[in-house]
Chains A and B, each alone.
Chain A
């Protein structure tokens, strides 16, 4: 099982601030990189699945970039709102068959009003 690392582990920002987090993954045999948003007492919800080096995806105020050569992805939130408070997970297919997702431990974001 290959490691997926996320940083920081937790983050507190003020409403209106922009913020970003990092997901690091093994750069060899890249297949895809997933981002999920997980609110307390709910289930994880998919944000993006990225497959191409240099890919950039956007969903409202949230965007993500991908660098497969150096093995990292950034998730950006512009103008954070209290409803953005959640844990943000990234995941990487970690087996040779790319059928097993390995999740990072997540970045817990708290947006203070």
Chain B
């Protein structure tokens, strides 16, 4: 049981490049989410999904796209990377579908640098 798997672990991009951060979970969780972690800011929600085909915006969605074609996968896309998107990105999942009364299970994170 791998839990939540994020790839890659590290990535360096140039401004304007695009890339996709991958997230997969094998726990049959309905709820999946993406957070970014910046110094002094704590974890902030980017996008979340409550099931295949359903996504919604979190606190800081600008510059990011998501899709949820399967229960297992929830990729995060940066269409045109900007230095302000330099951060550590965490994917998380939980059993919860209708309300967050279950713990979040986090991946190991992706450290992204935009030059």
Footprint of B on A, CB under 8 Å? 1, 31-32, 34, 36, 42-46, 49, 51, 89, 91, 93, 97-106
**What are the residues of chain A within 8 A of B44 when measuring CB–CB?**
103
Please state if A100 and B90 are interface contacts (CB–CB under 8 Å): no
Q: In the complex, how many residue pairs between chain A and chain B have their CB atoms under 8 Å apart?
A: 68
Interface size on B, residues (CB 8 A): 28
- Contact status B101-A44, CB under 8 Å: no
- Establish whether residues A43 and B106, one from each chain, have CB atoms under 8 Å apart when the complex forms: yes
Instruction: Assess the A105–B99 pair: CB atoms within 8 A.
Output: no
Chain B contacts to A: CB under 8 angstroms:
31, 33, 35, 40-45, 48, 50, 56, 58-59, 90, 96, 98-109
Excluding A43-B107, A101-B104, A104-B42, 7 further A-B contacts by CB distance (< 8 Å) are A1-B59, A34-B100, A34-B104, A44-B106, A49-B102, A49-B103, A105-B41
Indicate which residue in B40, B43, B56, B100 contacts A32 across the interface (CB closer than 8 Å).
B100
